[in-house]
Amino acid sequence: MACTQYRIVNLYKPLGPTSFAMVHQLKKVLGVKKAGHIGTLDPMAEGILPVCLGQSTRIIQFLSPLSKHYQCTMTLGSATDTQDATGKVISTGDATKITDAQIQEAFQRFAGEQKQVPPMYSAKKNNGIPLYKLARNGITIERKPVLVHFFSIEFVNRQENRVKFNVHCSAGTYIRTLCHDIGQGFGCGAHMSHLVRSGVGPFDLESSTTLEVLKEAHENRLLESMLFSVEKVLAFLPEIRIKDEFVKSLANGRVLPKSSFKALPREFKPGMNLRILNGNDTILAIVEPLMNQDQFEKMDADAIGFKLKRVLVN
């Protein structure tokens, strides 16, 4: 169906299936050949799993680094080998004397930039082999700490040894490792017993939908209203406007001279991603500055100030 080619689905993944399985089912339901998800959810986790359809898979690389929001339940008093409820208990401890205030203090200690050691039961690779495959064979290897960022960790409530909290964190952060590390700090052990991903960039729970609802909408020709456009999901990127006569050159993959631009952001610098729009508000490409705006202003009209990261028009 043509309406899916440059669209994104905010799919809700239930407990049980893998992210890969959900994408496979979605492709069958919608009859699309190409699709890719943004940010993997473990089988025991549920929540939003944005999926790019058709040509929109070209923008996955720009959406994957977006920060994530989670609703988590941490169980104090036992640690597992997988750091979540699917694993074997490897240690236990008394959590009855740990107060709510101590838990909130622990959350404050972990807020901000942290070095986190990825769990063995994870999709991260070592020499091309996923760590979880090594772990299942009883092999444990040393993992280098990864820099992650917890923008906020908010205590919600506690029922006996189960603690509910909300997290806003950088991409690539393991919430089960956060639970494990907090348990280690208390000396009683802890693991993640429930996880819901509630936000990825512009995607939230309210706008998510299930496979069943999508199937019905597809059959009744009501699918279009349930899909996100590339323009909407990339609206967080600063925009550049170009003159109409340069659109064809851009579509052919040619870099644009300074004279092709009609409007630029007030500030930009190397390392940033910016979206190029035409007069109809259609995204044509993603580019990266080769210099900051002050240097750009001093350039000649035919000089090149941006490099193409991805052309989105044919």
Output DSSP code: residue 27. H
CA-to-CA distance for 293 and 273, rounded, in angstroms?
A: 14
- Phi, psi (rounded to 5 degrees) for 202: -80, -5
> How many angstroms separate the CA atoms of 118 and 308, rounded?
33
* Residue 42 annotated among the catalytic residues of the structure: yes
Pairing relation of β-strands 35-37 and 46-53? antiparallel
Tokens (6 digits) for 255: 């870099």
- From CA 175, how far away is CA 74, in angstroms rounded? 10
Exposure of 15 by Cβ count < 10 A (0-12 exposed, 13-18 middle, 19+ buried)?
Answer: middle
* Exposed / middle / buried, residue 2 (Cβ in 10 Å: 0-12, 13-18, 19+): exposed
Q: Which of 42, 100, 204, 302 is catalytic?
A: 42
Tokens of 58: 């070209």
Q: What does the radius of gyration of the chain's CA atoms come to, in whole angstroms? A: 23
Tokens at 156, concatenated: 């919600």
**Residues that are catalytic:** 42
